[in-house]
Structure 1
C-alpha cells in the first residue's frame, strides 16, 4: 500500500542553535581555548594602553598665564610663622583652628567651624551599605566630647550665581603638627588668598582645613555628610574657653553644588630623584573613579607647565620580577612581529615599559577590586563629585628657604591652573571616561578594551552548563528503552525535573550557609578582648558546625543522590550570575574573581571519575583540580594577592580576620562577593571533586 502523502521534512534548526549544539558537543576544547585566550588578552593589556587626552575642550589647561607669584610665597611664609606659633601655644587646643579662621576672615571669606566625632568602626549587618556618618555626641552637661574641628572658608565668586563650587582640602593633625603639614596649610592658604582676589572666578571656592587626628577620610566624610544632610542641634553648649563665637559653630556655611575637589598635601622628603614629584590617588569606594579629564588636567599642568614628575601607585615587587621580565620579552617580540605584518597594529612595547605598565596596572586593578578608597577623595566620590588626591614629594629639606619658595610657586601655580580649568566648565565632567585602568599617569585602558579578557573567560560558562545538563538528561532518558511510554514519562519526571530540583536545593542550602557565615563576624566581634587569631578560629569552627547542621536538616549533596554533572552545571550557572552582577558593581573584583574561579569551575571533575583514565592525563587532571581548589579557597586567594601586591608571603590566620574586618568597615562590595559568590562556588567545587560518581542507571542496569 503506497503512502497517501509524503511526510514533510523536519525544518533545520537555526544557525545559532546549530552553533550552540556544536560548541556544546566540543565544550572541553572551547573552554580551554577561551580561558587561554582570556589570560593572553589580560597579559596584552599593558601594550593596548592609549595615551590620555582631553575630551572637554572647555578645560583648556595652561591657556592663561598664572597669577601666583613671589608675593603669594611671602604670604605663605608669614602664615607658616603664625601657624607654628599657634601650634606652640596650644597642644591639642583650638589655637591652630582659630588662627586659620582669622587668616581667612582677613581675606574677606565667610568662615565657620565644623565639629565631628571619630567614626566607630565595627561589624553591623544592617548598616553595611550606609556611608560612614558622624553624628554629634554630647556629654551629659551638653558639651562636645573627644571631637575634631574642621575649619571652612568660602569665597563667593564675583562672576557666579552661587550654584557651583570648587573644593580645596588640606588635611593636618592639630594634635601633633608636622613640618610638611604646616607647608601644606601654607600652600592651601596662599592659593586661597590668590583666589580671593581673582576677578575671573565663576564658581565659589571652599577651603576645608580638615582635622585629621581621627583620619583624613573621617574628617572629610563628616563635613560632606553635614554639607549634604543638614543636622539641627539645639540647646548645645560650646565650651571653648572663649576662643570662638557661638555663631561660628551653629551656622554651618555652604556653597553651591560641588563641581570638583582637590585634596593636596606635602609628603615626606624623598632621598632620591632629580625633581619634585606629585603622586595622584584616584580610586574611590567599590572601584569608582573620577572622570579621566580631571586627572589629565592635573598631569598636563604638573608635567608640561610646572616641571613635576607625576606618579601613580605601583606594585614595586613586580618591577624586579624575573618571570614578568620574561613575559615582557615575549610580548615585545610578538608585538614587533605583528607590527611588521600590519603597521596599524601598534602592539610593540619595550620590555621595561611593559614591566612598569604591568606593575601600575596591577596596582590599579588591585585598588579598585579592594573597594576601599585610597584617600579622602573617596568621600567626595560617594556624593558623585569628581575628586583626586595629590601628594607632593619634595626632594629638598623642608627648612631650605630657597627651595621651599620655588616649590610653593610651582605648587601654587599647579593648583591655580586646575582651579582655572574647572572654573571654565559650564557643566559637570561627563565627556571622558569613568571606567578605566591606569598603566601610567599618561596612559589608560578603557572599558571597551579591558572587558575583552573578562568576556573570554565568561564565554564558556553557559556552553558548559548546557552541555552538562544535556548530557545528564540523555543519560537518564537512555536508562531502559524497553519501558512503556507512560513509564518513560514518569522516569523523565523523576529523573529530570527532580534531579534539577535536588541540585537547586543543594545550591540553596549552601547559599543560606554562606549568608550565615558572612554575618557571623558581627556576633564574634562582640566577644570582649578577642584577638584576630581567636576570632578567626571561632569563625571557622562555627562555619563548619553550621554547615553540618544544615546538611543534617536538609540533606547533603551525596545523600540526595544528585548527579555530579547537574551539580557542576548548577555551580556554573550560579557563578555566571554572581560574576555578572559583580561586574556591574565593581568590574575589577569580577575580573580577578573570574581569573581564579572560572578555571576552578570548568575543569573540576570527580576524583573517582578520573581513575579510569591513563596515568598521564589522570595525574595532570587530578593535580590541576587539587591546585585550583587550594588556590580558590578565599584565605589562600587572599594570601596570593597579598604576596603579589606587597611582596609578603607570611601566613597568619589573624590576617584573614583583619582583612575581612577591613572590607566590612569600609562597606566594600568585595566582602559580599567573597562570601556570597566565591565561597559557595568553592564549596560546590569541593563537592564535585569528592563526589562518589554513582551513575543514575547503574541500579537499573544491574537489575
Structure 2
C-alpha cells in the first residue's frame, strides 16, 4: 500500500478514486478473472498442440508390430497362472518368460512397515527385464511398466497389458535400431511397488524410522528419459485415455502427451482426455461447454494431489511419464481397438523416444488440456504486463491486482525519465520493472 501512504500522493486523483471504489473494483476484477478463465476453454482463446522437440519424428515411423497372436498366447498362459495364485503375482512365470525373450531379468523385493500398528508389515516383489541397447552404451533408458492385479484385487484386471508388454519385448529384441535400454517392469501392490522400485533405482536414502524398506536392485540401466505405464483391462477396448496428472499436480512434458495422442490418431485408435472425446463442433456453444467440462475435470484431479496412475510417481524424479489406459465403456457399434493397434501405438512411442538426444525440456511443463489437440499455456493463465502507459506522475509505479494496490519503488527510481509504468494483472505481482539500460558515451 505504499502508493496510498506516500505523502507525495495525498490528494491525488488516482488514490482518491481507488479508495472510493475499492470494494467495487475488487469484485469487478474477480469477475473479470473468472470470465477470462472460463473463456480459455474456447478454441479462439487457446492454441493447437505442436511438437517442440523435432527429434521425436512420429510421422516418419511406420508400424511393423504384428504380435497380436503372440500377445493373446501370453494372455492365455498368464490367465492360467493367475488361477494358481489368486492373491499374489506369479513371479516365477514372469521371470521365466522375460528370460526366454532374451532380457536381463531380475526381481526386486520391498517391505512396507505399517506405521499405524506395531509389528505389522506387507511384502511385495517386482519383476523387471532390461533389453540392452544394441547401438548404445546403456547411458539412457525408457521404461514400459504395468501393475499386476490379482483376481482378488478390487481394481480391474491388467493381464492384457502385461501380455502386450511381453509381446513388445519379443518384437523389440529382434530389432537392431535401439540406442537406449528398454526396461519392462511389472509391479506389485499398485503405486507402492512403483515407489519402492523408483527409490531403489535412484539410490534414495532410507527413512528413519523406516516405513518403506525399498530394498536393493541387482542391476540397473541408464538414466530414465521417459516412461509409459499400461492399464489395459481387456483385449478389446473402445478407446484409450491418456492420463498425465502426477503427484501433487505435477505434469509431464507436453511433447510426450502430444506424441501419444498423435500416434493414436494415426493408428485410428479413439483417444480421450479425462475419458472425454473431442467435440465434433468445438467452435459452437455446446463445444465450448464440453471443453470447459474437460478442463475443469483435469483441474480438479490436479487439485487433489493424487496421481491418476503409476506414472505420476516418475515426475518427482524429473522423468516425463504417462499412463495409457484402455477403457471398456464406449458408444454402441463404435470401432474397438485391439492389442495390435495398441502395440503399434507403443511401438511408435518407443521408437520416437529412441530418437531423443536429451531429456524433454523444450515444451511446456505447466499447461491445461481442454481437448486432445488443444492446450492452454501458463502464459494465458497468468498475467502479462501491458506496454508502458503515461497515466501517473513521474517515477510512480502502480501495480493493480485483485483487491490490492501496492507500489514498488526500485532503487533506480530517481534515474528513470518521467515515464510511468502501469501494470495491471489478475493475481499477485512479484516482479519490478527492469532497470534502465545504460548507454556508453559517444566518442567524438
TM-score, length of structure 1 as denominator length: 0.49
Match in the other structure for 1:160: 136
Match in the other structure for 2:232: 266
CA deviation after TM superposition for structure 1 residue 154, in Å: 0.4
- 2:47, 2:376 within 8 Å by CA — same for their partners in 1? yes
**Equivalent residue in structure 2 for 1:429, among 353, 360, 367:** 360
* Greater fraction of residues in helix: 1
Match in the other structure for 1:59: 56
Match in the other structure for 2:99: 105
CA deviation after TM superposition for structure 1 residue 231, in Å: 7.6
1:147 aligns to what SS in structure 2?
A: strand
- Provide the C-alpha distance between the structure 2 equivalents of 1:429 and 1:352, rounded to a whole number of angstroms: 35
- Provide the C-alpha distance between the structure 1 equivalents of 2:116 and 2:91, rounded to a whole number of angstroms: 30
- 1:62, 1:417 within 8 Å by CA — same for their partners in 2? no
Answer 1 or 2: higher relative contact order, Cα 8 Å, separation at least 6: 2
CA deviation after TM superposition for structure 1 residue 263, in Å: 0.4
| Structure 2 residue 341 is matched with structure 1 residue 380 | no
| Structure 2 residue 329 is matched with structure 1 residue 389 | no
Match in the other structure for 1:358: 292
CA deviation after TM superposition for structure 1 residue 114, in Å: 1.1
**Equivalent residue in structure 2 for 1:195, among 153, 172, 176:** 172
- 2:241, 2:275 within 8 Å by CA — same for their partners in 1? no
Match in the other structure for 1:307: 268
1:159 aligns to what SS in structure 2?
A: coil
| Structure 2 residue 348 is matched with structure 1 residue 417 | yes
- Provide the C-alpha distance between the structure 1 equivalents of 2:373 and 2:114, rounded to a whole number of angstroms: 39
Distance 1:49 1:66, change over 3 A: same
Distance 1:168 1:46, change over 3 A: same
Match in the other structure for 2:401: 459
Match in the other structure for 1:447: 378
* Greater fraction of residues in strand: 2
**Equivalent residue in structure 2 for 1:217, among 191, 196, 214:** 191
| Structure 2 residue 240 is matched with structure 1 residue 278 | yes
- Provide the C-alpha distance between the structure 2 equivalents of 1:268 and 1:361, rounded to a whole number of angstroms: 28
Match in the other structure for 1:631: none
Distance 1:370 1:93, change over 3 A: closer
CA deviation after TM superposition for structure 1 residue 84, in Å: 2.2
TM-score, length of structure 2 as denominator length: 0.75
Distance 1:195 1:80, change over 3 A: same
CA deviation after TM superposition for structure 1 residue 76, in Å: 1.5
**Equivalent residue in structure 2 for 1:115, among 109, 120, 144:** 109
- 2:150, 2:157 within 8 Å by CA — same for their partners in 1? no
- Provide the C-alpha distance between the structure 2 equivalents of 1:407 and 1:287, rounded to a whole number of angstroms: 32
CA deviation after TM superposition for structure 1 residue 376, in Å: 1.0
- Provide the C-alpha distance between the structure 1 equivalents of 2:113 and 2:349, rounded to a whole number of angstroms: 32
- Provide the C-alpha distance between the structure 1 equivalents of 2:329 and 2:275, rounded to a whole number of angstroms: 20
- Provide the C-alpha distance between the structure 2 equivalents of 1:182 and 1:170, rounded to a whole number of angstroms: 9
1:416 aligns to what SS in structure 2?
A: helix
Match in the other structure for 1:8: none
**Equivalent residue in structure 1 for 2:163, among 186, 209, 214:** 186
Distance 1:369 1:88, change over 3 A: closer
Match in the other structure for 2:200: 226
Distance 1:368 1:146, change over 3 A: closer
- 1:267, 1:392 within 8 Å by CA — same for their partners in 2? yes
- Provide the C-alpha distance between the structure 1 equivalents of 2:122 and 2:240, rounded to a whole number of angstroms: 34
Root-mean-square deviation (Å): 3.6
Distance 1:258 1:119, change over 3 A: farther
- Provide the C-alpha distance between the structure 2 equivalents of 1:384 and 1:393, rounded to a whole number of angstroms: 28
Distance 1:278 1:22, change over 3 A: same
The structure having more radius of gyration, on CA atoms, is 1
- 2:113, 2:122 within 8 Å by CA — same for their partners in 1? no
Deviation string, structure 1 residues 345-386 (Cα, Å, up to 9, x no partner): xxx930121111110110111112222211111110111110
Q: Which stretch shifts more, 177-186 or 292-301?
A: 177-186
Alignment size in residue pairs: 373
Distance 1:53 1:200, change over 3 A: same
| Structure 2 residue 47 is matched with structure 1 residue 81 | no
Distance 1:289 1:100, change over 3 A: same
CA deviation after TM superposition for structure 1 residue 120, in Å: 4.0
- Provide the C-alpha distance between the structure 1 equivalents of 2:312 and 2:322, rounded to a whole number of angstroms: 8
1:598-609 to 2 correspondences below 5 Å: none
| Structure 2 residue 127 is matched with structure 1 residue 151 | yes
| Structure 2 residue 233 is matched with structure 1 residue 291 | no
CA deviation after TM superposition for structure 1 residue 229, in Å: 1.8
1:198-597 to 2 correspondences below 5 Å: 198-212=175-189, 216-229=190-203, 252-267=218-233, 276-303=238-265, 305-313=266-274, 349-394=283-328, 407-452=338-383, 459-463=401-405
- Provide the C-alpha distance between the structure 1 equivalents of 2:88 and 2:293, rounded to a whole number of angstroms: 44
Deviation string, structure 1 residues 71-93 (Cα, Å, up to 9, x no partner): x2232222123222322333345
Gaps of 5+ in 1: 1-11, 124-136, 140-144, 233-248, 320-331, 333-347, 397-402, 467-578, 584-703
- Provide the C-alpha distance between the structure 2 equivalents of 1:449 and 1:121, rounded to a whole number of angstroms: 44
Match in the other structure for 2:21: 26
